[in-house]
Amino acid sequence: MAAKTKQKAQSQIQGAFREQYKRINHYYAELLRANPEELPTLQTLYQLGWVLLEDYSGWLVIDCNRKRPNDQILSIAYVVVEVETKDSWVWFLRHLSDDLGAKKIRRCTFMSDEQKSLLLAFEEVIPGVDNRCCMRHLYNNFRKKFPRLELKNQMWRCAKSTHWKDWEKEMKSLRLKNEGAYRHLNSIPPRFWSHSRFSFYSKCDSLVNNMSESFNALIVEARKNQL
């Protein structure tokens, strides 16, 4: 009863979801007016809006980027999909690739929280592109089995090693401290999480996905209003 009352109050304040989705054509027209050169991408957005007309739920997919040199967050693409699957990621990456250009997107560096569906989508759409796993996410899984602070610090030393010989040295130290922790971390290819294996062409040395966390913090209130 409380949930229904809240939903009714929100509908009176913000308008019904169904009515909002019916205005997607007006949104499309305004985007087209401001960005006439982006017709193919906007046409796709327009079509997707009608697909979601009968389904109010969905996943917000946003490409957050770091704008150098001020370390600002820049979002260049966003969309709402029915569910987070390989197919939805493939759809998103294909249109992002078409927009940026195949050559440019292959020089990008992607970072995620080790989502299997996204990794599979990378292999299908832009195979070989640089992609990393957020170290905070990796550590959250690591500490469930190996909670000691000493192991946490050693894990980060491995991640921050800038040369493969230094990485091997730190990994040996980890092995001496805990064989299980070593096996766990060694099972993850270092190209996903260690400076020592990052691509020469990448201009970003970040190990954590703070951009996404910062963006999520900005939209917390808006997400609460849709619960």
Flag whether pLDDT at 88 surpasses 90. Answer: no
Q: Where are the domains of the chain?
A: 2-133+208-224, 135-197
pLDDT tens digits for 181-211?
999 999 999 999 999 998 877 777 888 887 7
Q: Hey, what amino acid is at 34?
A: A
DSSP alpha helices (H): ranges in the chain? Answer: 2-14, 17-22, 24-34, 39-51, 86-100, 102-105, 116-125, 135-145, 149-160, 164-177, 179-186, 210-218, 220-224
Flag whether pLDDT at 214 surpasses 50. Answer: yes
Task: Indicate the pTM of the whole model.
Answer: 0.70
Q: Which of 19-28, 127-136, 165-174 has the highest mean pLDDT?
A: 165-174
Average pLDDT over residues 168-191: 95
